[in-house]
Amino acid sequence: MPSLSGLPGFLSRKKLVKALRRVGFEVNTIGGKGSHVKLIWPKTQKTITIPAGVEKQTLQYVLKEIEKYSGVTWEEIQREL
């Protein structure tokens, strides 16, 4: 898990979702309207919600949850960005 200084200042949701899809997450299109995207890790059916703009603190939290649910690390995601 990288420290805040090792993360980008801002990351667009579109780029992050695209990278997460490449490592195995699926976008959940079922649900309501809004500015968030819900992703599912198929093996465990755990979900993670990505907000519209992903700043450092939010990205760190999201990455921690992703690693806990799926075992996918920041380095793997970073290769797909």
pLDDT in tens, 59-71: 888 889 989 989 9
Q: What is the pTM assigned to this prediction?
A: 0.83
Rg (Cα) of the chain, in Å, rounded? 12
Beta strands in 21-73 (DSSP E): 26-28, 37-41, 46-50, 53-55
Catalogue all structural domains in the chain, each as residue range(s) with its CATH number: 8-80 (3.30.920.30)
pLDDT greater than 90 at residue 30: no
C-alpha–C-alpha distance, residues 21 and 24, integer Å: 5
